[in-house]
C-alpha cells in the first residue's frame, strides 16, 4: 500500500458555515466530500502547503487560524496522515477549479454529505469544538 505522507486540509469558515469540496469523478474517492487541501511538498511547511493547495483548488487566499488533531487513515490502496486547520478567507471567493462541486454547510446539514473516511474524525472534532461555543 502506498503512503502519501502528510496531507493538509482546510476547514474554511465563514458566517457560521464551513466549506466542503466534492472530489471529481474518475479519481480516488470519486464524488465523496472532503475538506479541501493536498500533499505537503518536501521543504514546505504545513501552512505553506495549505495556502498553495487552496489557491490551486479554489482560487482564494486563506489564513490558517488553528491546527486540529491529525488523523492517519488507510484506504484500500493508499494511506495518508491528514492534518486539519481551521481557516478563514483573506481574499477571493471560492470556486471549484479541481473539484466536482463545493458547498457551504453547517453542523445541522453536514450529515447529508457522504464524506471521505479520513475526514470523519476531523469533522467530529471540529463539530465538538464549534458546538461547545
The confidence score (pLDDT) of residue 130 equals 82
In sequence order, the β-bridge partners of residue 17 are: 14
Q: What is the dihedral of CA 108, 38, 71, 127, to 10 degrees?
A: -20
Domains of the chain, residue spans: 2-132
> In this predicted model, what pLDDT tens digit does every residue of 10-59 receive, in sequence order?
999 999 999 999 999 998 899 999 999 999 999 999 999 999 999 999 99
Q: Confirm if 57 and 66 have CB atoms less than 8 A apart.
A: no
Q: What is the pTM of this model?
A: 0.94
**Which fold does the domain 2-132 belong to in CATH?**
Nucleoside Triphosphate Pyrophosphohydrolase (3.90.79)
Amino acid at each position: 500500500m502506498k503512503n502519501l505522507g502528510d496531507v493538509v486540509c482546510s476547514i474554511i469558515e465563514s458566517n457560521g458555515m464551513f466549506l466542503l469540496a466534492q472530489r471529481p469523478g474518475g479519481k480516488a474517492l470519486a464524488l465523496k466530500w472532503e475538506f479541501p487541501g493536498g500533499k505537503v511538498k518536501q521543504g514546505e511547511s504545513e501552512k505553506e502547503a495549505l495556502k498553495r493547495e487552496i489557491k490551486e483548488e479554489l482560487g482564494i487566499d486563506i489564513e490558517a487560524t488553528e491546527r486540529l488533531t491529525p488523523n492517519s487513515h488507510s484506504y484500500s490502496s493508499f494511506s495518508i496522515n491528514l492534518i486539519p486547520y481551521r481557516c478563514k478567507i483573506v481574499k477571493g471567493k471560492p470556486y471549484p477549479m479541481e473539484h466536482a462541486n463545493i458547498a457551504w454547510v453547517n453542523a445541522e446539514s453536514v450529515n447529508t454529505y457522504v464524506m471521505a473516511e479520513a475526514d470523519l474524525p476531523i469533522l467530529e472534532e471540529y463539530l465538538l469544538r464549534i458546538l461547545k461555543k
